[in-house]
Amino acid sequence: MRTRRHLGFTLVELLVVIAIIGILIGLLLPAVQAAREAARAAQCQNNLKQLSLATELFHGSFKCYPPARYQPRPGDRYYPCGGSETTWLVRIMPFLEQQAAEDRWNYAMPYADHPAEVRNYNLSVFVCPARRPLSAAVGSGLIVTQGTGWCSAPCGCRYPCTTNTSNNLSGAVGDYGGNHGDMSTGSTGLPTDFYYGGNGTGLIISSRAICADEGDSPVNWFDRISHKHATDGLSNTFLVGEMHVPRGLLGRSPWDAFIFNGDHVFNSTRVSGPGVPLVSNLDDVGNGLVSWGSWHVGRCHFASADGSVRAFSTSTDTATLGYLGHRADGETTAVPE
């Protein structure tokens, strides 16, 4: 008589299979995560490449780099206008195939006076995928706008003056900034400090505006930086890099500032050098408004003015970073291989 055999797994066999599958998943998960990070890093580097090419195309058209923003010098009675308009990132939009987006901006109008649909419109090239998707690249915050212009005295005379207005607004945020230089001119509030018009040592600096109608509005700019000013060589000078934004503060100004708002130098630029290391702690808020930094573990990406893109270790010494931030300090061999 033949005995019927029952096919199937015993409970022990099933548990062994589940354990093996769990081990395989545990082994594969780090590889999957590493592959995803590699893809995000590659996209970030490509974004920087596109930004550097667009900025160089701007240079080819205007024979200079775009100004980071309009910014007068304290006490300058001849060129007092500007300081609350938009940034260099708007000016390069036509070279990113976004002419229609750039057309909606008025360079003589304060950032806060533009409608929300203009302020909130963003481009994927301005966003690092390691930090956020494009759909989340809109923030909110209070904007205190300092206007400069001419006021009337009781005598009928006109004199340079400033006015402050505050608004709680929304706006596009992003992850890449222009190289404003190092801090060699100090930051004590003097007219010669790096964040005032014409004093930056990088390639994308704050510039004084040429004023129309006795200083009421900016129509053009002085302090034009071009290739001839980068005497250290284009390959030895940063053009654009990843801006540090503290973890947990995405979308919250001023830590994650509106990149098209030119009322503050660090909304769309950064500086480097002694005292300003690359940020390695994602939660760091100490130098958050001035420092370069990324959410790629242990490294930060930069594009030099020659279009090359490199990843720098977050342990890179600050002297080297300062050399690369300064366009004409005589240091031409500082780029790590």
Residue ranges per structural domain of the chain: 35-325
Which of these, 268, 287, 269, lies nearest to 325 by C-alpha position?
A: 269
Instruction: Judge whether residue 221 has pLDDT over 80.
Output: yes
Instruction: Judge whether residue 151 has pLDDT over 70.
Output: no
Distance CA 4, CA 22 (A): 34
Q: Determine which helix (DSSP H) or strand (DSSP E) holds 176, and give its type and residue range.
A: strand 176-182
Distance CA 42, CA 134 (A): 16
Instruction: Judge whether residue 227 has pLDDT over 60.
Output: yes
Q: Which two tokens stand for residue 14?
A: 């099933």
Distance CA 315, CA 333 (A): 18
Average predicted confidence (pLDDT) for the chain: 88
Q: What is the mean pLDDT of residues 66-86?
A: 92
pLDDT at 241: 98
Distance CA 79, CA 75 (A): 9
Residues 193-217: pLDDT tens digits?
999 999 999 999 999 999 987 657 8
Instruction: Judge whether residue 334 has pLDDT over 60.
Output: no
pLDDT at 214: 61
CA angle, 22 then 25 then 30, to 5°:
140
Phi, psi (degrees; rounded to nearest 5) at 117 = -65, -25
Instruction: Judge whether residue 285 has pLDDT over 50.
Output: yes
b/e 285-307 (16+ beta carbons within 10 angstroms → b): eebbbbbbbbbbeebbbbbbbee
Pick the residue with more confidence: 283 or 303?
303
Residues 109-121: pLDDT tens digits?
999 999 999 999 9
pLDDT at 8: 62
The model carries a pTM of 0.85
Q: How many helices (H) and strands (E) does the chain have?
A: 5, 11
Instruction: Judge whether residue 32 has pLDDT over 70.
Output: no
Q: What percent of the chain has pLDDT over 90?
A: 68
Q: What is the mean pLDDT of residues 260-264?
A: 95
